[in-house]
């Protein structure tokens, strides 16, 4: 069965970077795009970007351009989201989500990133 298992919660200081992992199993990583979505406390879902695990190409939401990096390690079937220059507004739950024809059919369990001094 398809599973996306994300890394654990993180607490970071303002200005730091965070790297969240998402390990995929139950399917071939390179056959499906992977998106990242975040949700601030009490707020809605916000799309961050998309990774093509086959070739490694990425597209980022304009809001996160220059601060976010999506990458993958095919040998461990893991994708990564790194967000830099963290500020308090980046406190959120971050999700990876597999896409089939542009539809997010499987989601990770979410990773809470707290930015606080």
Partner 1 sequence: SSELTQDPAVSVALGQTVRITCQGDSLRNYYASWYQQKPGQAPVLVISGKNNRPSGIPDRFSDSTSGNTASLTITGAQAEDEADYYCNSRDSSGNFWVFGGGTKLTVL
Residue numbers at the binding site for partner 1 (CB under 8 A): 35, 37, 44-47, 50, 59, 61-62, 95, 97, 102-105, 107-110
> Is residue 107 a contact partner of residue 88, using CB atoms and an 8 Å limit?
no
Question: Least distance (Å) from partner 1 to the CB of residue 16?
Answer: 25
Hey, which bits of 15-67 come out as E strands?
A: 18-25, 33-39, 45-51, 58-60
Question: Least distance (Å) from partner 1 to the CB of residue 22?
Answer: 12
Phi, psi dihedrals of residue 35, rounded to the nearest 5°? -105, 160
66 vs 102 by CB, closer to partner 1: 102
82 vs 110 by CB, closer to partner 1: 110
């Amino acid at each position: 069965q398809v599973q996306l298992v994300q890394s654990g919660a993180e607490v970071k200081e303002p200005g730091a970077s965070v790297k969240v992992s998402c390990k995929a199993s139950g399917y071939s990583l390179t056959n499906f795009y992977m998106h990242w979505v975040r949700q601030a406390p009490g707020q809605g879902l916000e799309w961050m970007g998309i990774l093509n695990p086959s070739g490694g190409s990425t597209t980022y939401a304009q809001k996160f351009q220059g601060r976010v990096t999506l990458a993958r390690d095919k040998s461990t079937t893991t994708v990564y989201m790194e967000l830099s220059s963290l500020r308090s507004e980046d406190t959120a739950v971050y999700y990876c989500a597999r896409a089939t024809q542009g539809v997010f059919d499987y989601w990770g369990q979410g990773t809470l990133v707290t930015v606080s001094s």
